[in-house]
Structure 1
Amino acid sequence: MLLRILLLLILFSFDLSTIASAEAPLTAAFIRDHQLWIKKGNQEIQLTKNRYVYNQKWSYDGRFIGYIDGDEKGEKSDLFIYDTKEKESYRPYVMVVTSDFKWSPINNQLAYNEQGLLNVTKTKNGRPQGFENVSLGVSGFEWFPNGKEFIVASQSSLRPTGWGPIPLYRIPVDANLAKDKIKPFYTIQTKEPDLFGIDADYFKWSSDGMWVSFLIVPTASWSMDSNTLCVLSSQGKHFQSVGKMLGFKDWFKWAPLANQLAYISGEGRFFVENKKMTIAEIPTSKQQKEYTPKGFVDLDLEWFSKDLVIVARAKENKEWKEGPVPNMFISLYAINIRSGEQKQISFPRKDELDEDPQVVRSYLTLFRRKAEDFQGDVWVKDGISGQEYLWIKNVDSAPVFYDPK
């Protein structure tokens, strides 16, 4: 009898270990102990040593990973590229100092902003190498969906009468600093307090490329409490202010198949209250609906499908007034924006937080960590109702997935 019980326990534990070690057909670049790694299926590979890596981004076809090699003090930000084919890191030029770089949506060309000078890489032996100048005076930028142009913001000027408007430009990739190729796209006429800002950044295109969303950012202290989410049509004709929010680029996202913009609305730098998941129908941004129930705050979001939005949700803490900011114990919820139905879909332990939901095809991933820790683990669910399982242990932040279209 004892032998039979022992065999049953062994079989049961084997079954549990099989579930725990299940693998998703996903590819991700992640940071562990400040080093760059990739995981494909069940294989983990360390790509860098003795660096301080952050801001990793996949190229168009997944061959290259751009990343910043920095330091703990934030005084260094050198651009490197890892070539997965040649299995090596290299600099696209002798020295590139930047914190803002973006891959082309149509090829392996890299654009980066180096102290206000926008550059794009050339190609040598099939790799991004060398550079060409595009434009001076650049603060924020993004590729147009066609991969042939940029939308560029230039910070407003401070005048005796106050801050001026924020100019946006449409600039071809081959502008090479030629003024006659740089065309005004739209001028944002700002005013206090309704639409005040000195810069525009975090440009994101709708799925059909007809609208671009972005944040108007005010002066430093003000921006910690409030930024303005805006949209502009692809021809620069129709501009709308959508709402007030904090300056987190992942807190606003377009629907996968419609001109709907989900964002975390609400002002105030502390997460304890007034953070609501809101859907704005574009172009009529006045048609907005909040989905966060009373007594809760939503602190991140991700579209799962055309009708389902995933949010990272915690209970409000209006009692807190001063002292150390309290931890917000977050779990994930799924919201059906058509029916209004909402349900909890992740269940961390009492001392854990579930953050950074990401959707890759049918898979939902999350970053789970203990409240007092910075490192955490990556968990995966196949579908909203799938069994969650541990995929990557001990990562510094949520991974970046490569999802070939």
Structure 2
Amino acid sequence: MSRILLVILFLIGFSLDVSAETPFKATFIRDHQLWIKEGEKEIQLTEGLFVSSPQWSIDGRFIAYLAGNKAGEKQYLTIYDSKVNKSYQPYQGIETHHFKWSPTSNQLAYTVDGILRVTKMKNGRPQGFENVALGVSNFEWFPDGDAFIVSSQSDLVPTGWGPVPLFKVPLDTHLDTNKITPFFTIQTNEEDLFAIDTAYFKWSADGKWLSLLAIPTASWSNDSNTLCVISSTGDNFQVIGKMLGFEDWIKWAPSKNQLAFISGEGRFFVENKNTAIADIPISTTPKAYTPKGYVDLDLEWLSPDKIIVARSKDHKDWNEGPVPIMYTSLYTIDLKSGEQKQLTFPKNNELDSSPQVVGNAITWLRKVENQVQGDVWIKENIDDEPYVWIKNVESTPVFFNESN
């Protein structure tokens, strides 16, 4: 009996160890090439290219990315197909900077010279294209995958810049303007809300609200943009606050209509960058969480009531010479209790940034000052010891999460 009991206990312990292992899967860029890592296996997917902006399709079969030259002048839309282990162009010679997978299918939308296009499907692969709408500067799929929210840049007339129009465009529009309906018009002026375009459309978890940045002219936008939200029906538009133009500084809560963002104006990171939470629809000033003497330079939701931020001491005294390096570490913030704890402890010449939450795991990018490449670290649970999962990456990896 004792031997049987020992065998049973051994098998139980073995099964627990196996189930605790998280099958992480991510695509990343190293030496300008596209790579993929699943578990402990790394595979290089491209050679001799200059790759950027990888995105997973909804089922993880495809990775869309840009392949171009170092100057970024030519950015060709390319797709890697994991089923045949090869890359291809969905249509030869497509140059774009803005593309997004459908939230419900393996269909890819992108813009070329203001034309919104979607890929056709051929033998289960995105191939060819169909024109959807003209005059598009920014777009996002509706959560159901049947339509787009699009914006057009405002017109400059002798009296100044006009409003910024938003439209709802069905997927099957095929350039038929009769199918397009006005969604909302952002009325702007230099004293209150000045913008000539939009960026970074993001839906709330329940699809009832859309956040966006209202973008002023180029020089102005380096110092300040306006974070706004609009209801999915287009009948409730609200201004949330001022911030810089970084997409990862805007994050919806995983299950509530709460919007986390890093507020503050001024293009330098040395001061006035504060984590804030807004309850949507907004009725009071967003609550700030960054302590005096610090700045927050990235954020991620850990749970419905906790967030992670990349935090550094501020440099308010700096006013000339090289901009100081902001040595960030990760901290957790409990929104209910207000308690804040340091989560990572990089060395004096290191900085931690780009937190991501994948299931129960927390990942981040750790770099040594002035180095281009860094390492991806992981805590499989918040109380676990961290370890290096990927070495020598040039930007934040893009994880594939099947639960999405």
Normalised by the size of structure 1, how large is the TM-score?
0.94
Distance 1:23 1:34 in 2: 30
2:163 to 140, 162, 165: 165
2:121 to 97, 106, 123: 123
Distance 2:385 2:321 in 1: 39
Partner of residue 375, structure 1: 373
Partner of residue 60, structure 1: 58
Deviation at 1:24, TM superposition (A): 3.9
In structure 1, runs of 5+ residues without a counterpart are: 1-21
SS of equivalent residue, structure 2 residue 303: coil
Partner of residue 391, structure 1: 389
Contact 2:155 2:162 in 1 (8 A): yes
SS of equivalent residue, structure 2 residue 248: helix
Report the aligned-residue RMSD: 0.9
Deviations 1:233-274 (A, max 9, x none): 000000000000000000011000100000000000000000
Deviation at 1:193, TM superposition (A): 2.8
Distance 1:261 1:154 in 2: 25
Deviation at 1:194, TM superposition (A): 2.0
Partner of residue 302, structure 2: 304
Deviation at 1:323, TM superposition (A): 1.4
Contact 2:26 2:38 in 1 (8 A): yes
Contact 2:195 2:216 in 1 (8 A): yes
Partner of residue 5, structure 2: none
Within-5 A mapping of 1:68-147: 68-147=66-145
Distance 1:225 1:383 in 2: 37
Within-5 A mapping of 1:25-44: 25-44=23-42
Within-5 A mapping of 1:208-223: 208-223=206-221
1:277 to 255, 275, 279: 275
2:395 corresponds to which letter in structure 1?
A: S
1:358 to 338, 350, 356: 356
2:299 corresponds to which letter in structure 1?
A: L
1:95 corresponds to which letter in structure 2?
A: G
> What is the number of residues matched between the two proteins?
384
Distance 1:28 1:373 in 2: 22
SS of equivalent residue, structure 1 residue 278: strand
Deviation at 1:23, TM superposition (A): 6.7
Deviations 1:350-383 (A, max 9, x none): 0001010001110100000011101000000022
Distance 2:290 2:109 in 1: 38
Partner of residue 349, structure 1: 347
In structure 2, runs of 5+ residues without a counterpart are: 1-19
Partner of residue 263, structure 2: 265
Normalised by the size of structure 2, how large is the TM-score?
0.94
Name the structure, 1 or 2, with higher relative contact order (CA <8 Å, separation 6+).
Answer: 1
Deviation at 1:285, TM superposition (A): 4.7
1:96 corresponds to which letter in structure 2?
A: I
Within-5 A mapping of 1:195-214: 195-214=193-212
2:259 corresponds to which letter in structure 1?
A: L
Partner of residue 152, structure 1: 150
